[in-house]
Chains A and B, each alone.
Chain A
Amino acid sequence: MTTPTQTEPRPNPGTSERLDERLHSPQLPRWTPWAVLAAAAVVTVLLNTVGGQGKALSVVLGWLIFVVTLTVMSRLYEGGRKSVDRLATVMVTTAFVVALMPLGTLLYLVVSNGAPALSGSFLSASMRNVVGEGGGIFHALWGTLLVTGMAAAMSIPIGLLTGIYLVEYGRGRLARWVTLLVDVMTGIPSIVAGLFAYALFVLFFGEGIRMGFGGAVALSLLMIPLVVRSSEEMLKLVPNELREASYALGVPKWRTITKVVLPTAMAGIVTGITIAIARVIGETAPLLIICGSTDSTNFDLFHGRMMTLPVYIYSQYKNPGFPPEFGIERAWGAALVLTIIIMVLNLVARLISYYFSPKTKV
Chain B
Amino acid sequence: MDETAVRANPRPPRRPGDRIFSGFATAAAALILVALAGVGLFLTSEGIPALTAGKNEVPGGNGILAYAWPLVFGTLLSSAIALIVAAPLAIGVALFISHYAPRRLAIPLGYLVDLLAAVPSIVYGLWGFFFLAPRMGPLYGWLDDHAGFIPLFAGPASPTGRTMLTVGLVLAVMILPIVTALCREIFLQTPRLHEEAALALGATRWEMVRMTVFPYARSGMVSAAMLGLGRALGETIAVATVLSVSGVVTFNVISSTNPGTIAANIALKFPEASGIEVNVLVATGLVLFLITFAVNFVARAIVGRRSEFSGAN
Interface residues of A (CB under 8 A from B): 54, 56, 81-82, 84-85, 87-89, 91-96, 98-100, 102-103, 105-106, 109-110, 113, 157-159, 161-162, 164-166, 168-170, 174-175, 177-178, 180-193, 195-196, 198-200, 202-203, 207-208, 221, 224-225, 228, 247, 252-255, 257-258, 278-279, 281-285, 288-289, 292-293, 310, 313-314, 317, 331-332, 335, 338-339, 342-343, 346, 350
Judge whether B197 is part of the interface by a CB distance below 8 angstroms.
Answer: no
Partner of B96, one of A93, A169, A255: A93
- Assess A165 versus B29: contact at CB under 8 Å? Given A184-B36, A313-B126: yes
Residues of A within 8 A of B176 (CB): 99
Residues of A within 8 A of B12 (CB): 247, 252
Residues of A within 8 A of B31 (CB): 158, 162
Q: Is A278 a contact of B282 with CB atoms below 8 Å?
A: no
Judge whether B71 is part of the interface by a CB distance below 8 angstroms.
Answer: no
Residues of B within 8 A of A92 (CB): 92-93, 95-96, 100
Shortest distance from the beta carbon of A108 to any chain B beta carbon, whole Å:
9
Chain A residues touching B, majority SS: helix
Q: Is A99 a contact of B234 with CB atoms below 8 Å?
A: no
Chain B residues touching A, majority SS: helix
Q: B284: nearest residue on chain A (CB-CB)?
A: A195
Judge whether B6 is part of the interface by a CB distance below 8 angstroms.
Answer: no
Segment with Cβ contacts to A, from B58-66, B105-113, B144-152 = B105-113
- Assess A191 versus B293: contact at CB under 8 Å? Given A196-B43, A284-B122, A285-B263: no
Q: Is B35 a contact of A170 with CB atoms below 8 Å?
A: no
Q: Is A174 a contact of B29 with CB atoms below 8 Å?
A: yes
Partner of B18, one of A191, A253, A289: A253
Count B-side interface residues using an 8 Å CB cutoff.
96
Q: List 16 A-B contacts (CB under 8 A).
A: A84-B204, A99-B92, A99-B116, A103-B115, A158-B28, A161-B27, A178-B33, A187-B293, A189-B289, A195-B266, A196-B42, A199-B43, A207-B275, A254-B20, A335-B122, A346-B115
Q: Is B267 a contact of A254 with CB atoms below 8 Å?
A: no
Given contacts A247-B12, A339-B120, 7 further A-B contacts (CB under 8 A): A102-B127, A186-B296, A193-B39, A196-B39, A253-B21, A288-B270, A317-B241
Q: A225: nearest residue on chain B (CB-CB)?
A: B32
Q: Is B46 a contact of A161 with CB atoms below 8 Å?
A: no
Judge whether B225 is part of the interface by a CB distance below 8 angstroms.
Answer: no
Q: Is B43 a contact of A195 with CB atoms below 8 Å?
A: yes
Shortest distance from the beta carbon of B287 to any chain A beta carbon, whole Å:
10
Shortest distance from the beta carbon of A200 to any chain B beta carbon, whole Å:
5
Shortest distance from the beta carbon of A292 to any chain B beta carbon, whole Å:
7
- Assess A191 versus B267: contact at CB under 8 Å? Given A196-B39, A221-B35, A254-B22: yes
Judge whether B162 is part of the interface by a CB distance below 8 angstroms.
Answer: no
Segment with Cβ contacts to A, from B188-196, B205-213, B247-255 = B205-213
